[in-house]
Each structure stands twice: as structure tokens, then as C-alpha cells.
Amino acid sequence: MITTGRRCFGHVFGLGVMAVASGGWIQPFHPNERQTPSSSAILVDGLKIWRKPGAIDGGAACATCHSPDGIELAAYNFDDADLRRRAVPHLGDSDSQLLVEYIHALRAKFKLFPLRDPNLDRPLQPGGSVLPGDTPAERDLAFGLELRSKLPRLFGSRIETIPEAKAAEQELLALQPVNLRVGIPFSRLSEDVAHGNEHASIAQWFPEVPPLVPAASLDAWYASEDQYLENPTPERLRALLLQHVQFVRTSRMLGLGAMSANKFRALLVLQDRIRNHTEKDPLNVSRDVRPIGSFNAIWNVGDNARDVMDQGPAAVGMSPETQLKKLAGPSFRDQLHQLRVAWFWAGWLSDQGLFKTSRDDKTRLGMWFSESLSKDGPYPIHDVYANARRQAVVTNDIDAWGETMARRRRIWDFAGLRSFEYEWKDLPKDPNYRKLYVQFASNCFRMNLLLLQDDIQRTHLVWTKVSTESSATTLVTFMKIQDPQGAASAERIKQELFKVIDGATERFNYRGPKTP
């Protein structure tokens, strides 16, 4: 961030402002200084202002683009001047001042101190910070070095046996990715050109286009928000998310409008995690995804970026005014790359098997994820890790699959850990980096080939023999070329796998219907 000798404040409502003081940061009053007999009244009156239709953006209220009560603004160290400046065009001077008092009252009510730095904090960033490095390659290498100390079996000697593969899988499952630092910078809560051209970006949590609930549905919407605020349970969050999908139809919107609606829904998830202290919840399927089914609000933002990756700002519905605010720095395409990979990884953290996220097979099998990790980086070690973790979660956690144990099958037969040929395309050029990558990728491939062999030996079932053998051949070919000293054992693993495949029952045959 460019500060020119002065200290910048956080970005509010996607815009922001600079404020300075001779002593540095202008800090908000300590909550005790705001505790007056009228605090309860401020909370009541402030919520009314929060929902009051504004004078611009089609009558959008603060609540149109933000959480039901503004807790995410209160959790961050947004300066009073920031809050007033952004609120005044919507609400005028008097109501804007009350809104500032309201945000302070929220901070006290929820005991949100110490406040988060909006310029440094990246919501949901695993491990709290991004791994060092100026390029994706440098950060991907740093990720590999981070993994090496945490997954010694996958970075050690070649995995040769089924017991070794099972031990490596358990080690992989025990490492919680929500606490694992990665080289992918997540989006800040807000970005704003007022803090330098590098902050002119839509790679933020706040919507660029107000996702307006139709006027006829507003009373029902706010009633649901009131119910949620009274008791913020996963069930009431689910009801809010599904109701917003009903009221705000993204199919009728251009790309930026649809992305903004999904950002709002993702913000509902974020504010719920802030409210319930579940931001670091180490679950394979998060509590805000599991009860819904085929809906992952955070992932959907990345999917919106994927959908419009080849379009220009005007084509996706970015107004000239918004273009002035959001295109002064990184190119629009670069912003979309930043969005796609960050929100895909954050969405994957919410559903590491990807079977709760969407009914789309390319999502479920990790194809879009691998494409992003390649084209938005490349991040080859991240890609192999995410695919290996996805496979392990789907295989071992019935909640991630969503079907009965009798129907659960390794998804190896569909795509496995192939990374959809990106394991070849993104081979690092630096010798040490390449060696680390090949060692990790080869052991992940070995682990899954052996686990697949064990699975078929126990069940005597395979989905399709042709595709399973093709997937295995792809990985063994990679290992033979990239790790020639291990070529003989890789071939042995393949041949032993092929024997059990040949003796198995095929659940689906390209030449006919499923076998009984």
C-alpha cells in the first residue's frame, strides 16, 4: 500500500478514505468510553439506519451489501472518517453520525477488541498469513517446504506398500488445511483505489453491485434476518442463504451482478463465522455448507470469476463509474485470476471433498480447481496437495460424500489424482523446486495407486476398467520419466493394480449398462 509518509486506514464499503493524525493511527474510542445509558437505544436505532434505503445505488441500504447488523465492519479497525465518508452519500450527515455510533456500540456488544487491521487481515486466510514470496512459483516452493516438515511420509522415501500408503493417508488427513499456511493471497475484506492504485480491485469481499432484494420481499427478508440475529444457528443461516437465492436471481444478472450477489452470500457465511467464532473450524465440511447441499457460497464467487475470465469489464456489467474505481491498477483479467484461485481455495476449505459444493462433475472432481491452480499461478505443489487431500476426504468422511456407505466409491475411476495433466504442464524449472515437487507428487501418486488396489481387493468392484487403467498409466508414466530410479517399482505397482482390476466386477461398462 502506498502511504507517502502517512498511515492509511481501512477500506469501507469497497471505497475507503485516508485519514491521518500527528501520532499515527486515529484509533476508535475504547469501548468503555462508549458505554452510556443510551447504548441499547443506539443499537436499536442504529439497526434501523442500517436498513434505511439510501439516496443512491437504487435505494440500497447498508444491509443490502453487508451483514444483517454490520458485525464485519465492527470487527475491523475502520476509522470514523471512513465510515462517515462512505455513509453520507447514502444517508446524509445526521444518520451517518448515528451509524458511526452504532458501529462502536456493536464493537462493545460483541467484545470485538482488538480490532483487525483491514489492510493486513485477509479473511479466512489459512494460518493467518500468506507464505513469503513475490511470485506464485516462490510461494508454491515455500508451501512445499512447509509441507515437507508436516507430511514426512509423502516427502520421504518412495511409498512401496499398502501399509505405507495407509500411514501416509492418515498423516495427510491429520493435517488440518485451515491451519496450514498457503502461498495464495486471499481477498481483503475491502479494496479501494484511495489507498493506491494497487488497491483498485474487485478482489474483495464486498459487492460491487448492490444485490437488491425486491421491495415486495424486504419485510420478509428483514424478518428472517431478525430471526437469525436473535439466534444465529446453522439452520437459520441456511434459511437466510436459501431465501436470498430465491429473492435475488443471479441468472438474470450480468457477470458482475451475479458475482456481487454471491459475494453477499459469502459475506453472510463470513459474518456468521465471526459471530460464532468458527473461522478456524477444522472440519472437512463446514457447518455452513453441510446442511444445504450442492451450494457453497464462497466457492461460487470463484466460479463466477471463472465464468467471466475471457470477458471485459463492460461486458460483465461494470459501470463507467465503477471502472474508474476498480481499473486504475491491476488489469481486470489479473483481478479475476486473483479472485478465482483465492475463492476456490477458500471454498474448498469449506468442502474439501467438493461433493457438497455443486452438482457439476467438473467441480466435484476438482477439474476447475486444478485449472485455476495452474492458470492463476501456477501452483503445482498446491495442486497436488489439494487433489490428494480431496481424495482422502471423500474416501474417509461420509459427511463429505453425502451418500450411504454402500454407495461410496473411490472417485479414482473418474479422475483420481491426475490433476488433469497439469502435473506435466506445470513442472518447475528450478532444479531444487522441481526435485521437491516430483518427490511429493510421485509419493502422492504411489499412495493412491496402492490405496486403490487395496480398495478393489476388499470390494471386488471397479467403476470402469478402461478409465481406471488409463488414469493409473498416466501417473506411472509421469513417475517413470521424472523419477527414473523408481521406475521399476512404479511399474510393479501398476501391474499389481491391473491384476486386481482385471478380476473385479465393473459397475459401469461403456459398452452396456451397469452390472448388477
Within 13 Å of residue 268, how many CA atoms lie on the same side as its CB?
Answer: 31
Listed as own residue / partner, the contacts of 225-229 with beta carbons closer than 8 Å and 24 or more positions apart are 225/63, 225/68, 228/68, 229/68, 229/69
The average confidence (pLDDT) of the chain is 88
Query: Which pLDDT score, from 0 to 100, does residue 11 have?
Result: 42
Is the predicted pLDDT of residue 37 greater than 50, yes or no? no
Using CA atoms, how far apart are residues 21 and 16, in angstroms rounded to an integer?
17
Burial-class residue 97 by CB neighbours within 10 Å (0-12, 13-18, 19+): middle
Residue 419 and residue 448 in contact, taking contact as beta carbons nearer than 8 Å: no
pLDDT in tens, 462-516: 888 888 898 899 899 999 999 999 999 999 999 999 999 999 998 765 444 444 3
pLDDT in tens, 378-408: 999 999 999 999 989 988 888 887 654 444 5
Is the predicted pLDDT of residue 369 greater than 60, yes or no? yes
Is the predicted pLDDT of residue 461 greater than 80, yes or no? yes
- Enter the DSSP assignment of 21: B
- Per DSSP, the three-state class of 76 is strand
Considering the chain, what percentage of its residues have pLDDT values greater than 70? 87
- DSSP lists the bridge partners of residue 351 as 285
Spatial CB neighbours of 90, under 8 Å, sequence gap ≥ 6: 54, 55, 56, 57, 60, 61, 62, 96
Is the predicted pLDDT of residue 295 greater than 50, yes or no? yes
Query: Which pLDDT score, from 0 to 100, does residue 419 have?
Result: 56
Of 150 and 12, which is predicted with more confidence?
Answer: 150
Residue 235 and residue 291 in contact, taking contact as beta carbons nearer than 8 Å: yes
Query: Which pLDDT score, from 0 to 100, does residue 10 have?
Result: 39
Using CA atoms, how far apart are residues 225 and 240, in angstroms rounded to an integer?
7
Is the predicted pLDDT of residue 222 greater than 90, yes or no? yes
- Secondary structure of 357-391 as H, E, C letters: CCCCHHHHCCHHHHHHHHHCCCCHHHHHHHHHHHH
Which pLDDT band holds residue 19 (cuts at 50, 70, 90)?
A: very low
Query: Which pLDDT score, from 0 to 100, does residue 399 have?
Result: 85
Using CA atoms, how far apart are residues 466 and 321, in angstroms rounded to an integer?
55
Alpha helix locations (H) across 360-516?
361-364, 367-375, 380-396, 398-401, 422-425, 431-459, 465-482, 487-502
Query: Which pLDDT score, from 0 to 100, does residue 300 have?
Result: 97
Please report the DSSP string for 80-116 in residue order.
Answer: HHHHHHHHHHHHHHHHHHHHHHHHHHHHHHHT-PSPB
Spatial CB neighbours of 514, under 8 Å, sequence gap ≥ 6: 507, 508
**In the block, which residue shows the cell 430465491?**
246
Spatial CB neighbours of 218, under 8 Å, sequence gap ≥ 6: none
Alpha helix locations (H) across 151-185?
162-174
Using CA atoms, how far apart are residues 222 and 51, in angstroms rounded to an integer?
9
Altogether, the residues listed in the chain come to a count of: 516
Give per-residue burial for 64-74: e unless 16+ CB within 10 Å, then b.
bbbbbbbbbbb
* Lowest-pLDDT choice from 72-76, 163-167, 411-415: 411-415
**What's the whole-model pTM score?**
0.91
Residue 237 and residue 269 in contact, taking contact as beta carbons nearer than 8 Å: yes
pLDDT in tens, 446-457: 999 999 999 899
Which pLDDT band holds residue 114 (cuts at 50, 70, 90)?
A: very high
Residue 203 and residue 342 in contact, taking contact as beta carbons nearer than 8 Å: yes
pLDDT in tens, 420-440: 577 788 999 999 999 999 999
- What are the counts of helices (DSSP H) followed by strands (DSSP E) for the chain? 21, 2
